Structure 1
Amino acid sequence: MSEFGNLLKSLRREHKITQRRLAELIGIDFTYISKIENGSMEPPAEDKIIKMAELFEENPEAMLLAAKKVPSTFRKTITENKNVPMFLRSADRLTQEQWERIKKVVDEEE
């Protein structure tokens, strides 16, 4: 089962919503929900995940990332800032301490 499938199943059960009802609310076939939860299908498109997040009162970006999708709100920054690709190429080599320092700088900006 995928991370997104596990998350979806957990949220659905927590909110006591059947696969059929979720499918009706989101506008997809209920068998697709089952296949997502058991990991045999990829997560749906961004708009469907955002609807799920709203329904479950969850952070849409967190759900999109769990689905291994880049939120469209990030795309402009990724594609228009020439420093982002350079940073992303080296990001997997950063230590936990370096990530904490980056987070501290970002938090100070907010």
Structure 2
Amino acid sequence: MNHFGHSLKTLRSEKKISQRKLAELVGINYTYISKIENGAQEPPSEDTIIKIARVLGEDADEMLIQANKIPSYFQKMITENKEVSSFLRKAATLSPQQWDSIHRILDESL
């Protein structure tokens, strides 16, 4: 079972939603849900993950990242803004203290 499939199964079970009900609410076949949860199928498309997240009341970005997918608006932001791509290149070398400082700055500005 892949990480996304395992997480999906856990979330769905916690919310007490059957595979059939989730599939119905998302607009896909329930066997597809089963295959994802059992690792027989790769995680679905971004749009489908976003629909699943809405139904389950979960953060779509977190679910996309669990599926090893980069949200499309992140991709757009990275490709359209040189400062973002420069920051991401440097981010790998930041210390935990520097990350804390960045979080504080962001929290204060919002």
Unpaired segments of 5 or more residues in structure 2? none
Q: Which residue of 1 aligns with 2:100?
A: 100
Q: Take 2:63 and 2:35, find their aligned partners in 1: how far apart are those partners?
A: 17
Q: How does 1:1-110 map to 2 (within 5 A)?
A: 1-110=1-110
Equivalent residues of 2:22, 2:55 under 8 A apart? no
- Show structure 1 runs of 4+ deviating over 4 A: none
SS of equivalent to 1:39: coil
Normalising by the residue count of structure 1, what TM-score does the alignment of the two structures yield? Answer: 0.84
- Residues 91-100 or 47-56, more deviating: 91-100
Equivalent residues of 2:8, 2:37 under 8 A apart? yes
Q: Take 1:96 and 1:67, find their aligned partners in 2: how far apart are those partners?
A: 25
User: What whole-Å deviation, never above 9, does each CA across 1:54-88 have from its counterpart, x for those lacking one?
Assistant: 11111112211221211123233211110222222
Deviation at 1:12, TM superposition (A): 0.8
Equivalent residues of 2:64, 2:71 under 8 A apart? yes
Q: 1:41 to 1:93 in 2, by over 3 A?
A: farther
% same residue: 55
Equivalent residues of 2:64, 2:70 under 8 A apart? yes
Equivalent residues of 2:50, 2:60 under 8 A apart? yes
Unpaired segments of 5 or more residues in structure 1? none
Q: Take 2:90 and 2:21, find their aligned partners in 1: how far apart are those partners?
A: 43
Q: 1:10 to 1:79 in 2, by over 3 A?
A: same
Q: How many residues are treated as equivalent by the alignment?
A: 110
